[in-house]
Structure 1
């Protein structure tokens, strides 16, 4: 059996004019609930007085005709020490009411009566024994570590003040259960465990409602913050996607611009070949080459769209069909062609006599040259 002390304010006092005794009617001395207790080592546990354990006939009966003491004695009160400790007694009308045990009481000691009337002694502290069972649970939103069973009230002490002080006193006819500490100097408020933000914490009982409201407000704030953070993350993702697209578009634009600049340069180079005297020289060079090449390839060869090198390769092939010119440089082709023409017999170099040129007459070739020249200028 363990010894426990619970405290409650003294209510409904009346002084008996005949005897001088002080009566307190219908005093709440115990109530169901979850309460903190502390031992000599300073360890605090939350213990539950459940209705089925506190409000039993056997427990209520122990509140009848029990001694009243001034402060708690260091031992249980009994017939051997009652003369030393007893300053009054409870009535025999203990009963259960609204989840509490209540009983009338009478203080007979004059010194103690004077202290109560002056306000020096203001509260009751119930001393009792109990069996404590380590069973965890929750009662009306308050978690507990163990359950008190077989509760037996031994005495009721009149004390200066509850361990929690007056700031946590319950008003009206409610009992206030407080912790009994081994040290008179050590003060411990009535506390309870509440579940806040995923964690059980111990707080003063009077602050539970405030804490729960703050937790609710904090949860709402956290929810809003989470919503804002989610939106910010979403917007940042969209910005990143747009930036990536913009970078890709810019890269594509830069690549296209580079191609355009390159083509512009090639076009300028190509046009420079056909400006002024350069065009005349190009036309003259092409016409002269056509006259020579035609003497090798004949009238069936289509000169349209052929480059100078293409025409020279065609002429070379008529003389040496086995030669591979595909991988030869322009310099090689030019040198081979020039050597081939230079070594040809004069009588067969028809390109220099006009009358011996196969196919078109000179006048026809000159007419086509003028057409080519005009076409280049139009370009």
Structure 2
């Protein structure tokens, strides 16, 4: 993938031939933000691309900074032997060095128009290079999150631009008077200049500086995280509501079922009559205590008492009910009132009989004694 970045220049001087010579920082480690479409990912708004030190400072990458053509702005294609005369306005040297985060190279601008642009204020640098994009996210040792990693960075050219992606640190510094100390030997704090960046916000292009771009990118990431959290919370809420709705529906179903089981006064009277009739038939078949028994149990107890267990073994309730009805039809139901009255009448008769019998027995005894006398 072909990409471009921006960098600064220091220790500027003019040669006797009019060339502009300088040392410049041309690359750095860390995170730079690209539009997703620049990296072949139009589905992403911005991509935080991380350059680890082991990639930027590898021997192959550092060698690729040396003897690169310089261009005035980025050409529409990579520079090669066929188009070098068309685009080149100078070149980089071979004394490539680096500190902990940056790469520095010597350079020379040889084209008068490019030198005039520099003197008019066009002083930042942008490296044109190719690299591989490893779509692995993570966090840098400094705690900064990233979306992808650059691998196998190979430089193609170095362009003089108005604003570069890497920021004002990567620019051609102001010239120094002949005989003045070389700033590259004693690096000075860099100018606090922020390069312009274009960021897409809700489909609109917004031009801002490096700090603004970082703030917007951070806010966009926070918004994305908030939207994700809101989506998770909504799913959890919907799940809770569905569970409560199911519980309410269950309670309503149970209530309706209980309502269906509640007997009206007429139904209750009918049920009492039916139960009394059943107990009366059962007692006619077999007199027993049927309290607390179901209708089916009452029939079975009466049938078993009359016919034995074998008569109903393995038989369904319908069969037992039919046998019960047959037995009940053949038995005369006992009226409990009549039974009670009959028992009392018999008791009184027995009492009278006993008294009468005793009296007669006494008379017989006395009569017998008189006859013997």
Give TM-score scaled by structure 2 length. 0.46
Give TM-score scaled by structure 1 length. 0.45
Structure with greater Cα Rg: 1
